[in-house]
Amino acid sequence: MTEKIFLHGVPDTPEIWRSLLKELNLDFTPNTVPALPGFTSPPPKNFGNTKEAYVAWLIAHIENVMSGSGPIDLVAHDWGALIALRAISLRPDLIRSWAVISAVPHPDNLWHSTAKKWQTPLVGEAMMLLTTKKRITTILLDNGLPLELAEHEAAAYGSNMRKSILHLYRSAKILGTEWYPGFENLPPNGLIVWGDKDKFGPTNMGRTFAQRYGLPFAKIKNSGHWPFVQAPKLVADHLKRHWA
């Protein structure tokens, strides 16, 4: 049976997938929900915390998993989606199917305002110090996460995650122009999923990417940046059809 891998984004942990996994009912299907290095514990020694380091880490993780199961089904959200798309474009042989949620690179690299602050030396560090866990909880609640999950994710927003986020974003100022040409190698067995009320990226960004590469596009109504949390059954239904 094909193994499923679910990769979270920023500023999340693997717990973010809990509702979707419940709807998918994968009790008898092998699956892994890895944490991005540095997000739930200190990163490995000599890990670069750059976008390319995360891509290499994901490829190695998939290679290890598929050694026992063959090509995998990959589902990724936010920064996890960006890392996944790069990994897939480099190693399409590792993937049976893929789905990315709420993030695709843009050739003009249109980062949101918070990302631009994180990418700015001193400004990013100051912003991290001023962003309390209570503030993170509020932001997540405002974007549709339930209180228990929002508090769990905010509790993980410690020094390791903050440093990892700054390093990752600063390595990716021109991610779009660097990575976009390689997406011509994306295998066609992909799916783009997007919430129609996403505050961090317009729905049209995902739709345009899907149209450019001839991919199906699933718009999840009345949901924001975490549609698989707000509407887990709808997203699960799309994934089940996609895997079938």
pLDDT surpassing 80 at residue 234: yes
Name the band, by pLDDT with cuts 50, 70 and 90, for residue 28: confident
The residue ranges of every structural domain in the chain are 4-111+174-243
Does residue 180 or residue 126 have the better pLDDT?
126
Q: Under a CB-based contact definition with an 8 Å cutoff, are residues 53 and 47 in contact? A: yes
CATH code that applies to domain 4-111+174-243: 3.40.50.1820
Span 13-24, average pLDDT? 97
Q: Residue 66: its pLDDT value, please?
A: 84
Name the band, by pLDDT with cuts 50, 70 and 90, for residue 163: very high
Scan for tokens 């380091």, then name that residue: 53
Q: Residue 5: its pLDDT value, please?
A: 97
The region that residue 63 occupies, defined by phi over 0 for left and psi between -120 and 50 for alpha, beta otherwise, is alpha
Q: Residue 109: its pLDDT value, please?
A: 63
Q: 91-121 in b/e burial notation, b at 16+ Cβ within 10 A?
A: eeebbbbbbbbbbbbbeebebeeebeebbee
Name the band, by pLDDT with cuts 50, 70 and 90, for residue 34: very high
pLDDT in tens, 205-221: 999 999 999 999 999 99
